[in-house]
Amino acid sequence: VGGVPYAAYQEYGFHGSETVRAQLRLVKKAFGRPIAPRPVAVRSYARRVDYPAHSYLRAALAENPQAPPHVLARLAGDAYAYVLCRVAAHRLTPAEALPRLAPRADGPTAQGLLSRKELAPETLAALATHPETAVRAGTARHPRVPPEVLLTLSGDPCRAVRWAAFRRKQTP
C-alpha cells in the first residue's frame, strides 16, 4: 500500500505464518545483565502471526473533507465501525450509499446518518427499529420521517421515543 511494505498488515491485519530470514543480531544483554556487545547468528525460522486490522488509512480517508464521493460510497461497505461512522456523517457521501449503512449501524453511525437531511424513507424505517433509544428518538425527530414510521414509533415501548414521535406535527 503506497510503497510501505507493512501498511497492508496495519490496514487489513494478518493471520498466518511468516518466515524470518537468518540474521546477525548484536547482543548487549544476557540473562538481564549487560555484557560486552557481540554478534550472534540467528537461524531462519517461521512464526505464527495473529495481527488484527487497524484501519488507519480508510478512517483517515473517510474523515478527509475532500474525499471523492465514489470513494466514500465504496467505504460504506467497510466492516470497520469507525470508518462507517465517518462515512455516514460525511457531507459528500452519496445519498444512494446511505441505505447500505442503516442495517448494520451502531449508535454513532446511526447518529451520523440522522445528521443527514436527504435520507430515504426506507433508511429511516430501518433506523426506527434500531436497538438504541436515542437512535429511535432521533429518527422520530428527523425532518423527512414518513408518517407510517412515526406511527410505528408512537407505539414504541420507550417513553422518550413516543414523546419525540408525538411532538411531530404529521403524526397521524
Residue 137 CA: distances (Å) to CA of 99, 109, 171:
19, 15, 14
Report the pLDDT averaged over residues 29-41: 95
Per-residue pLDDT, 42: 95
pLDDT band at 12 (very low <50, low <70, confident <90, very high): confident
pLDDT cut 70: percent of the chain above it: 97
SS (H, E, C) 47-115: EEEEECCCCHHHHHHHHCCCCCHHHHHHHCCCCCHHHHHHHHHCCCCCHHHHHHCHHHCCHHHHHHHHC
Per-residue pLDDT, 38: 95
> Is 80 exceeded by the pLDDT of residue 34?
yes
pLDDT band at 35 (very low <50, low <70, confident <90, very high): very high
> Is 70 exceeded by the pLDDT of residue 170?
no
pLDDT band at 4 (very low <50, low <70, confident <90, very high): confident
Tens digits of per-residue pLDDT, 66-124? 999 999 999 999 888 889 999 999 999 999 999 999 888 899 999 999 999 889 999 99
Report the pLDDT averaged over residues 4-17: 85
Per-residue pLDDT, 152: 92
pLDDT band at 172 (very low <50, low <70, confident <90, very high): low
Per-residue pLDDT, 7: 81
Per-residue pLDDT, 68: 95
pTM, 2 dp: 0.68
> Is 60 exceeded by the pLDDT of residue 2?
yes
**Cα–Cα distance measured from residue 46 to residue 66, given in angstroms and rounded to the nearest whole number:** 43
Residue 50 CA: distances (Å) to CA of 4, 100, 101:
20, 30, 29
Who's near 153: CB < 8 A, 6+ residues apart?
128, 136, 139, 140, 145, 161, 162, 164, 165
Average pLDDT over the chain, rounded to an integer:
90
Spell 89-103 as b/e; 16+ CB within 10 A means b: bbeebeeebbbebbe
